[in-house]
Amino acid sequence: MSHRNQSGEWDEVMAVVKRAVDVVAEVSPRVGLVLKADIRPGWDGQLTAKVERVERLLDS
């Protein structure tokens, strides 16, 4: 099992998801997908910001 975070514009992210499913489907008879979306209008770059906040806390 593999876990990945992807952030960006909706259509770009969904294109990545579709491509990943297509690639796995080429070598497997079954593809399982669990998708969680945290959609907050007006908030951009929060995945990177979260990492930066955690790194600052670890450095202090």
Domain borders along the chain are: 10-59
Contact 8, 14 (CB under 8 A): no
Percentages (nearest 5) of helix, strand, coil residues in the chain:
50, 0, 50
Look up the pTM and report it.
0.59
Q: What's the pLDDT at 41?
A: 85
For residue 16, CA distances in Å to 5, 10, 23 come to: 11, 10, 11
Residues 1-60: pLDDT tens digits? 555 666 678 898 899 999 999 999 999 999 999 988 878 888 888 878 889 999 999 998
Residues 18-34: pLDDT tens digits? 999 999 999 999 999 99
Report the C-alpha gap between 16 and 6 in whole angstroms: 9
Which residue, chain included where needed, has tokens 């979306």?
37
